[in-house]
Every structure is written in C-alpha cells, then in structure tokens.
Amino acid sequence: MALASDIPPFAKRPKIGLMTRLMRIIARPGFQRWASAFPLTRGVAAKDGAELFDIVQGFVKSQALFALVDLRVMHRLMDGPQTASDLAAVCMLPIDRMDRLLKAGVAMQLLRRDRAGRYGLARKGAALVGVPGLEDMIRHHAAFYRDLNDPVALLRGEVETELAQFWPYVFSADKATDAETSNRYSDLMARSQEIVAADTLATVKLGRYTRLLDIGGGYGVFAEAAAHANPNLTATVFDLPAVGPNAEKRMSASAARDRLHFVPGSFREDPLPQGADVISLIRVLYDHEDTTVMDVLSKVLDTLPDGGSILISEPMSGGDRPEIAGDVYFSFYCLAMQTGTARSANEIGEMCRQTGFTDVISYPSRRPFVTSVVTATKPSN
C-alpha cells in the first residue's frame, strides 16, 4: 500500500483557501452574467466593469492627451471657445478628426462643449495649463511609451530603453558631464520642480534651520523656494559641474540671490559641502540603486552636525498598501530608467535607521502623485 509520502508532489492537491474559492467563482463567465442581472449585485458588477474598461483604455486616453498637448489645444482656448473648424485650421487637421479629438477632450473632462457646438476649457484643462512642467512631462512621455511597447520584455530586462539614455547621470557622473546632456534633463526637472517644492515646504517647516544643502538640486528651484519661505535660511545647491552655469544664471535673477549658492560636484565621488544643518534630497533617491542610496545617506550623516536633519521628498510606493502613482506610474518609470525604484516611506525610513539616523518621521502626503516626505535626525553623541 502506498503511503502519502510516496505520492509524487505533482499529485498532491494544494489546499485552497476561502478567498481563492470566492475569486474562482467570480471569475466564471456564468457568474458574471448572473451578477450583471441580479438586482443586488448588478451595481457592483457594472462598477467593476467600468473600472476595468478604464484600465484597458488607459493608453488611448494618454495618447489623446498627448495630442491635445502637442497641438496646444488648451492654450488655444485660453481666449475663449472655438469651433472644431477654427481649431482644425490652426492645427492643420481635417475638421472631422479635430472634432473627434475635441470630443475625447470633453469625455476626459479637459474641455467642454456649449450649445452652439463650440469647445472651451473645462476646469481640469485649465489646471493642466497652470501646473508647472506638466505639459513638458507629457511630451517627454513619448519615450516612456516606446519603452513600454513590450512590457513583458521590459520586465525581463530585454529592452534597451530610451529613458536610460535620457537620464544617464543615474549610472555615473561620467555619463552626464557634457552641458547638453545635463541641461536636457535639468530643464525638464526644473519645470516640474516648483509643484514638488511647494508640497514639500507645505509639509515640513524649515524655520529652525539656518543653512540648507540641496543635493542634486539642479537649477536651484527647491533651494530658491526654501529661501523665499525662510528669510533666515541660506541655501547651497550641490550638483554636477555641467549644471552650474544655468543654475547660477537662475539664482542670480532671484530675489534671494544673496542667500543662494552653487557648488559643483558629484555626491557619488566628491565630499559634500560642509556647514549645513539640514540636507535635502528632492527626487534623488528613487533614481538610484540601494547601494548608491545607502552611500549617499552615510555621506549626509557624516556631513550633518549633531541634531541636524535630512529631508527626503520624492514619489513613493504605498508599501503594503500599493497605490496608483507610486506602484504603477513611478514604479514602471524607474524600471524603464533601468535603475532605482519607488520605495515606500517605511523602506526609506529603515534605510535611514540602518545608516544611523533617528527620529524618522513619515508625513501624510497631500498629493502622492506629486511627492511624499520623510525626515530624520542625526543623533547627538
């Protein structure tokens, strides 16, 4: 007689939990037909269907948005409603196709259509125009879309991505030493940094600090915003030498120019400037692998005085509770960059603790799709 232990592993039936049984029932086409008709379940079935369809059609919406931005439709409507014929002429499209695009804009609540058939801006469309850097990021997504053309190949690491070429500094400072390359990505970052700076400074107050060091601060958008918000604060930007000329040009035009400075260098290879009592990493860590992150956190700890603080602000994963911005968009964006990852606030906090920081605080995010914030303190000896 065969014993249970003699039964080949493939012959053993795994124990199926209650939730798995329930999901198997829901996955049956017959159940879906019944749920769609039964009065007590058809509302849920309809909601699930609509949300699934929204996921399925997401790439079409993003491409229609790209067309609206690329043709500057929202900008052309800033002076008031226009007909599809008027817009078709300036956008060099056939009228019927212009009308098709405009109706898509209405469906996405970016545009509105009046009784006379003219198209105008809706609230979301006006907001899109007003968010600094958003249109530039949408145009930049053309490369991201191409990298996602075969998502399975991307997940398997079989794709040479365009984003890896766009952000070469994440691999080493040597790959981004020329001004053209550095300014290409610094320009894009600067145009979108204003909203990140605003949310960060609304979350964490810097009034008790006197000297800020902003690592990887680009043209100084965050440093300038911090200086404006805190009249007693002096801010230094530390970034690659090729970024310097444009950063200094921007700083020299600022009302806070006497309190803004630029120091060239790479946080990978060079010592950090001394003297800051708060050091910020704004959209820096998620660009890099864990070893690089731990190295820069150690450098920050060594540079800060006792009681000094580190401020980390960037898009983050939801961790045990995945959320749409960090665990879909930014997760796959980092994948296409071929380095870094969107980490959760808990993961970042634990890396800070491992480095030697204490008093780690994760703040509720105003807008997770913009940024989330973690701070920590260098303990006193």
Q: Structural domains in the chain?
A: 58-130 (1.10.10.10), 146-377 (3.40.50.150)
Per-residue pLDDT of the chain (381 residues; tens, 9 = 90+): 445 555 555 556 667 788 887 778 877 888 888 877 878 888 887 888 888 888 889 999 999 999 999 999 999 999 999 999 999 999 999 999 999 999 999 999 999 999 999 999 999 999 999 887 888 889 988 999 999 999 999 999 998 999 888 766 655 555 555 555 555 556 666 677 888 999 999 999 999 999 999 999 999 999 999 999 999 999 999 999 988 999 999 999 999 999 999 999 999 999 999 999 999 999 999 999 999 999 999 999 999 999 999 999 999 999 999 999 999 999 999 999 888 899 999 999 999 999 999 999 999 988 999 999 999 999 987
How many of the other CB atoms lie within 10 Å of CB of 332?
Answer: 17
Beta partners for residue 264, in sequence order: 239
Encoding tokens for residue 7? 């039964």
Amino acid present at 239:
D
| Order of strands across the sheet that contains 211-215 | 260-264, 234-239, 211-215, 278-282, 309-314, 372-377, 358-362
How many of the other CB atoms lie within 10 Å of CB of 310?
Answer: 24
Q: Distances in Å between the alpha carbon of 319 and those of 76, 112, 346, 348?
A: 41, 38, 7, 11
